[in-house]
Structure formats: C-alpha cells, structure tokens
Amino acid sequence: MIHNYLFLSIILFCLGIVGVISRRNVFTVFMSIELMLNAANLAFIAFSRVHQNMDGHVLAMMVMAVAAAEAALALAVVILLHKHKSKLDTNVFSLLKG
C-alpha cells in the first residue's frame, strides 16, 4: 500500500520539478515548488502511517508552516516584480548575467 502513496508523492515531486524548469510565469513556478513540498508532506504522512507514530504528521505541519511563510514572501516578491516590469515572466528578469 505504501508504495502507491510514495509513487504519487514522487510523481507530484517530479511534476513540481518539471514545472520549475519549464514554466516561466513566476506564479506557476512558485506553485510548482509548493507542489514539491506537498509531495514531501504526502510522503511524511504516508511514512508516519507505516511507522505507526505521529512524528510524520508533526513534520508535515512544520513543513506547511514554513511553506506558508515562503509563499508569503513569494507573493511580496511577485508584487515587487510586477511593479518593476509589469510582467511576471522569469525570462524578463535577466539583467544579472555574464
């Protein structure tokens, strides 16, 4: 049984990776990262079940909290970006290079 959860988790994680490297919209990129974090959370919960203790749940909660904080910051950054360039395409923000 655990395998199915894990497969799902890994698939989500990989989707997240693909999202990060293929999408250019800042929002989508952040969402993809959230997806990866949630994949981890799913794994935590699943393992928690396997090990028959609640540690995994606690860990998942922690991760979610941190993810929320990160998301908050991300939103702030998105606003800033929009203010500067009126676009949310990550490729637009490539002044720093070379």
Partner 1 sequence: MTNDLMLLLPLIIIGAGAILLMLTSAFEKLNNEVTAYGSAIIFAVAFLVQLSACISGNAVIFSEAFNGILVVSNFSKAAGLIILACGFFTTLSSQTYFKQNNFCTPEYYSLTVFAASGMLLLTMAQELITVFIALEIMSLAIYILVGYDRKNVISTEAVLKYLILGAFAGAFFTMGTAFIYGATASTKFIKISQFIASHGFSQSPAIIGGSFFILVAFLFKAAAFPFHAWVIDVYEGASAPITGYMATALKAAIFTVFANFLVLDGTLQAGWIKYLFYIAVFTMFVGNLIAIGQQSLKRMLAASGIVHTGYLLIALVAVDSNAFTGSVIAYYLAAYAAGTLGIFAALSYLGGAGEKRKNFDDFKGLAKARPYSAAAISIFLLSMAGIPPTAGFMGKFYIITSAIEAGQIALAVLGIISSIISMWYYLRLIINMYFYEAEEQFNESVPSQSAPICTFVLVICVFAISLYPIAI
Partner 2 sequence: MGQSVNYLGLIPLFPLLGSVLIGLIHVFAGKKFRISEKFYGILACVGPVLSFILALKTFVALKALAPESRFLCHKAFTWFSVGELHIDMGFLADPLSCLMLLFVTFIGSLIHIYSIGYMGGDKNYGKFFSYMNLFLGAMLVLVLGDSPVVMFVGWEGVGLCSYLLISFYSEDRSNVLAGNKAFIVNRIGDLGFVLGMAFLFWGIGASGFDFLSLKAHSGNLTPAIALTVCLLLFVGATGKSAQIPLYVWLPDAMAGPTPVSALIHAATMVTAGVYMVARFSFIYANVELAGNIIAWVGILTALLAAIFGMFQDDIKKVLAYSTVSQLGYMFAGVGVAAYSAGIFHVFTHAFFKALLFLGAGSVIYALHHQQNIWKMGGLKSKMPKTYFTMVIGALALSGCPPFSGFFSKDEILYSALATGHYGIWMVGVLVAGMTAYYTFRMIFVVFHGTPRDQHAFDHAKESPAVMTVPLIILAVGALFAGFLNLPAIFGGSQMVTHWLAPSLTEHHPHASLFIEIIAIGASVAAFVIGIKIAYTKFGQGAPAPEFKGFAEFAYHKFYVDELYHAIIVQPYKAIGSIIWKTLEPNVTDSPVKAASKLYMAIGTAFKVFQVGYVRIYAIYMIVGLSLMSLFLSQSLN
Residues that bind partner 1 (CB under 8 A): 6, 9, 13, 16, 20, 26, 29-30, 33, 36-37, 39-41, 43-44, 46-48, 50-51, 53, 55-56, 58-59, 62-63, 66, 69-70, 73-74, 77, 80-81, 84-85, 90, 93-98
User: How open is the CA angle 69-32-22, to the nearest 5 degrees?
Assistant: 140
Instruction: At 23, list the tokens.
Output: 């999408």
Taking the complex as a whole, how short is the minimal distance between the CB of residue 50 and partner 1, in angstroms? 7
User: In angstroms, rounded to a whole number, what is the distance separating the alpha carbons of residues 27 and 61?
Assistant: 23
Q: What DSSP designation does 92 have?
A: G
Each residue 20-59 as x (binds partner 2 by CB under 8 A) or -, in order, gives xxxxx-----------------------------------
User: In angstroms, rounded to a whole number, what is the distance separating the alpha carbons of residues 78 and 30?
Assistant: 10
